[in-house]
Chain A
């Protein structure tokens, strides 16, 4: 079976100041397999893949590609050799066209550097067609949806006839249908003999699409197993050193006064006639598929968007739709879905980022109280097991998931009356997910009202006292303790038949 191996990593080590990101890592990718790479946030997955794609130079060790020890000189070299990385953050130029992005940096030119535009278009069209993309090569990439932009990156696999394609958390912001399409595409690549690496924190996806699983922990390989011969418990034990508590901790159902009531909120083209309320100590879940309008609703309540119609009641009295500033002052906190763009000062450390939005809490007579700041930082670092070398390591150097944890920490410590969490565990490893669930329960027991948006059914059922199901911009059903179940939720959002259950 040796000649099946297309790429082999042998004893790669990579050190960053203060961290050994990769420690003597070896693994291999076979032709026509989907190979999962899993591990906690900061385990070294992205670093390993960047080493393959020529973005990091390993300190030691070698890459054997198609049987030959190979030096990957840089990202372009990697692509031309047929190794393609599809980044955790999409790596495209929004102002350039689809065709120009597919061949970014490797445009066909003549000797004098003049573009061969026709060839560029033709080749790009061919690549897009091979994938069955529904858009042409001339569209500006900035106008495409996230899923389509991802297809543009995948089209590079066709364009460069890639032998190895690496997906780093590709489904983080895809809808279910888009995910199915992606899996279809991956299976197509696989059938053609491409070796695929698949990085994800979503275990159901791992077990759905991969053939083998390699587990990384603190930069070391814990082992490689056949997907068919293992189970979730085994893999999580390899990842985090213990099995996962499979039960959720729900806050004690002791509710106080109503904090927020929404009455008939509508916004043309986005959502219509949304009504609900949430009380002190209560966790309200908003379930729905990506694109159901849940984020739009909470963004409107928070004041990021404007509504066409509807009323808002804060602690029993009617208020005008607030601006975000007013919302924060009233005691509302919103942890947005796209945390990358809206959250962190990348050059600052975790300590400063955590205290940034609520400097008032951390200062006396406008002098910062460092001890308190540090204590908060430490509290969340251990509660969410954030992997950082210290309170002042610039967050730009943290792994994707660890950056996200800081955004959460930042809003959790704000001491609000109502906190809205939009997909709080996206991109977060399985071990830390339950830590976040526990935090949600704690917050509610302290008397906060909590709204949790999630596309993951076990999560939304596990943490909420009540769940609203949304579909295509409308609340189609509401569930309480008695009738909250996976079947009912699926029913509600897939057939819109929930109206009967809605109180």
Chain B
């Protein structure tokens, strides 16, 4: 690191520019919204916006937990599988114990698996990539064992009406996503746990030397991530009325893409829920817009891949110019 300060500062215009560059995802989001509004008359309708928010909220809820874990400098690849298990339990157990106890147990399964992930990462010293990769495969296997490879049907379809609450075009799921995002942004910026998250991801040795209990801290964040994955799974089961053993497959990848697109750094220490909201919405807008334009599936995937790489290159160019 050199002591050379950069002298691009100065005019308020360049200050504004730099603020935008630091939050480039919102600029990106605005651009995509403009492009799709111009190319499809159906895009900028109240109904469609509501759709985008609801669709985005599922990945969004996963992304909140992922952001916590990623600011810690870790990663959780098992969220998709946890989601599937929670959704299977929430539906499958209803016959035995009724709706709410089943939902509660579904939720607890996520918390427990997150706790397990965190404990293994903290105590074994293995990288979370490996630990949660194991989780991804193992938990998915568990889902298949539990559901016998079939989709589970909800016994009473009033279950699917639970999330059918709307505020204007905004669904309960979307509201929950925003509420959780705001809450965890507050946790990040205003609580001891939030500061620890940045400190641990930024310089783990300094955090340790300052007496932060790094292990306990990481376990908490993995537990949060697992619990939120279960929340997402339960919401999905309510929306679909079934629990597919393949539910949430490769959603962990979309989640990571959304978080990274937002600007949170894979290596930890930097990021926020604002960024993640931006990333989640951008992803949702892209998927929705491309479908409205009847883009074939493979083109959609190519565009998404391209956007991700572009966003990362932009981030690198704009924010890391100084350091070598």
Contacts and interface: CB of A to CB of B under 8 A. Distances in A.
B73 to A, nearest CB: 12
A463 B191 CA distance: 56
Given A95-B198, A105-B210, A114-B192, 14 more contacts: A76-B211, A79-B211, A91-B205, A93-B206, A93-B269, A96-B199, A104-B207, A105-B196, A105-B199, A107-B195, A112-B191, A115-B190, A146-B1, A146-B3
Nearest to B202: A93
A87 interface: yes
B211 A95 contact: no
Given A93-B207, A145-B3, A105 B212 contact: yes
Contact of B203 (A75, A93, A145): A93
Given A75-B211, A76-B211, A93 B191 contact: no
Most chain A CB neighbours (cut-off 10 Å) among B3, B190, B205: B3
A115 B195 contact: yes
Contacts of A76: 210-212
A107 B210 CA distance: 11
11 contacts: A79-B211, A91-B210, A93-B206, A95-B202, A96-B199, A100-B195, A100-B199, A105-B196, A105-B212, A106-B210, A145-B3
B161 interface: no
B262 to A, nearest CB: 16
B206 A115 contact: no
B11 interface: no
Contacts of A270: 4
B158 interface: no
Contacts of A75: 208-211
B3 A291 contact: yes
Contact of B198 (A89, A96, A338): A96
A484 interface: no
Contacts of A87: 209
Contacts, number: 85
Interface residues of B, number: 27
Contacts of B211: 54, 74-77, 79, 105-106
Interface string B155-175: 000000000000000000000
A109 B198 contact: no
Contacts of B124: none
A109 B192 contact: yes
Nearest to B270: A95
A55 interface: yes
A115 B195 CA distance: 9
A372 to B, nearest CB: 33
Interface of A is mostly: loop
B193 interface: yes
B190 A114 contact: yes
B286 to A, nearest CB: 29
Across the A-B interface, the 8 shortest Cβ-Cβ residue pairs: A76-B211, A105-B210, A104-B210, A93-B202, A91-B206, A75-B211, A105-B212, A113-B192
A113 B324 contact: no
A249 interface: no
Interface in A64-120: 74-77, 79, 85, 87, 89-96, 100, 104-107, 109, 112-115, 117
B322 to A, nearest CB: 10
Contacts of A79: 210-211
Nearest to A74: B211
Interface string A36-57: 0000000000000000001100
A198 B192 CA distance: 33
A104 B199 contact: yes
Interface of A: 54-55, 74-77, 79, 85, 87, 89-96, 100, 104-107, 109, 112-115, 117, 143, 145-146, 269-270, 291, 304, 338, 341
Nearest to A270: B4
Contact of A55 (B1, B5, B209, B324): B209
Contacts of B7: 269
A113 to B, nearest CB: 4
Nearest to A304: B324
B205 A117 contact: no
Nearest to A108: B192
Contact of B191 (A54, A77, A92, A115): A115
B101 to A, nearest CB: 29
A104 B199 CA distance: 8
A206 B37 CA distance: 71
A91 B209 contact: yes
Contacts of A93: 198-199, 202-203, 206-207, 269
Given A87-B209, A104-B210, A291-B3, A96 B192 contact: no
Contacts of A55: 209
Interface string B253-295: 0000000000000000110000000000000000000000000
Nearest to B196: A105
Contacts of B192: 107, 109, 113-115
B174 to A, nearest CB: 27
Most chain B CB neighbours (cut-off 10 Å) among A76, A89, A113: A113
A229 to B, nearest CB: 36
A114 B191 contact: yes
Nearest to A175: B3
B72 to A, nearest CB: 13
A179 B193 CA distance: 36
Contacts of B270: 95
A146 B2 CA distance: 9
B202 A338 contact: no
Contact of A94 (B4, B202, B212): B202
A92 B206 CA distance: 5
Contacts of B210: 75-76, 79, 91, 104-106
A421 B209 CA distance: 32
